[in-house]
C-alpha cells in the first residue's frame, strides 16, 4: 500500500511541475502551496481531516469536486491526496443510489422541520420519495455530506488503531508534535 501511495504522489508531483506549465504565473500561485510536503505525508489526523473534506465535497453535486476538495485541503493544511480520492465515492455508478438517498433525507428533513419548498423551483412527485424539488435535493446532499464527514474521523482512527504501522500518529520534529491547522484552531477556541 505504501509503495503504491508513494508512486501516486511522485507521479502527481511530476505532473504538477511539468516544464510547459512551470513558467506560468497562475500555475505557480496554485502549485507552490500544493507542493508543501506536509500536505502529502499521511498521518492519522491529517488523513482523517482530508477524508472528511473529501467525503463532504463528494456528496455535493459539483462538477469540480476534486478541485474544490484539493483547495480546501490546502487551506486547512491536511492530506491532499486523501481529500481528492475521497471525492471519488460519488461517480456515475454510485450516484444511482446516492441521489435517491439524498432526496429521501432532504424530503424527511423538510417534513420534520416543516419547511415549505420554494415555489419557483418546481416540484416533482416520485413514487416512494414523495414530492421533491431542488431545495430538497440540496438539503439532502448537504446533510449527507456532513454525516459522512463526521464518520470519516472514527473510520480513520479505528483503521489506525487496528493497523498502526499503516497510518502513524503525527510525527515529532525537535520534540514538538506537529498539529494540523484544523486541530490547532479548534483547540485555541
Whether the per-residue pLDDT at 184 is higher than 80: the answer is no
From 132, 159, 184, give the residue that closes a domain: 132
Average pLDDT over residues 161-171: 72
Q: Does any domain span residue 1?
A: yes
In a domain, 121, yes or no: yes
Q: Given 132, 161, 184, which residue is the final one in a domain?
A: 132
- pTM of the entire predicted model: 0.75
What DSSP string runs through the chain?
-HHHHHHHHHHHHHHHT-HHHHT-HHHHHHHHHHT-GGGTS--HHHHHHHHHHHHHHHHS--TTHHHHHHHHHHHHT--HHHHHHHGGGS-TTTHHHHHHHHHHHHHHHHHHHTPPPPGGG--EEETTTEEE-HHHHHHHHHHHHHHHHHHHHHHHHHHHHH-TTTS--PPEETTEE---HHHHHHHH-
Q: What is the mean pLDDT of residues 2-17?
A: 76
Return the higher-pLDDT residue of 1 and 25.
25
Q: In this structure, is residue 162 part of a structural domain?
A: no
Most confident of 2-6, 23-27, 126-130, 139-143: 139-143
The parent domain of residue 114 ranges over 95-132
Average pLDDT on 16-35 reads 75
Q: What is the number of structural domains in the chain?
A: 2
Q: Is the pLDDT of residue 155 over 80?
A: yes
Amino acid at each position: 500500500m505504501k509503495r503504491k501511495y508513494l508512486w501516486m504522489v511522485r507521479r502527481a508531483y511530476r505532473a504538477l511541475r511539468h516544464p510547459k506549465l512551470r513558467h506560468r504565473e497562475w500555475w505557480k500561485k496554485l502549485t507552490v502551496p500544493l507542493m508543501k510536503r506536509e500536505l502529502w505525508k499521511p498521518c492519522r489526523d491529517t488523513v482523517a481531516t482530508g477524508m472528511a473534506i473529501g467525503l463532504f465535497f463528494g456528496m455535493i453535486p459539483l462538477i469540480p469536486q476534486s478541485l474544490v476538495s484539493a483547495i480546501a485541503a490546502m487551506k486547512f493544511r491536511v492530506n491532499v491526496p486523501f481529500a481528492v480520492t475521497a471525492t471519488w465515492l460519488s461517480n456515475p455508478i454510485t450516484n444511482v443510489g446516492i441521489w435517491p438517498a439524498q432526496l429521501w433525507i432532504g424530503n424527511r428533513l423538510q417534513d420534520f422541520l416543516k419547511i415549505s419548498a420554494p415555489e419557483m423551483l418546481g416540484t416533482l412527485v416520485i413514487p416512494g420519495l414523495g414530492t421533491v424539488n431542488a431545495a430538497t435535493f440540496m438539503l439532502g446532499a448537504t446533510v449527507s455530506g456532513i454525516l459522512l464527514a463526521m464518520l470519516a474521523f472514527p473510520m480513520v482512527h479505528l483503521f489506525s488503531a487496528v493497523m498502526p504501522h499503516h497510518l502513524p500518529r503525527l510525527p515529532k520534529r525537535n520534540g514538538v508534535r506537529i498539529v494540523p491547522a484544523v486541530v490547532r484552531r479548534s483547540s485555541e477556541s
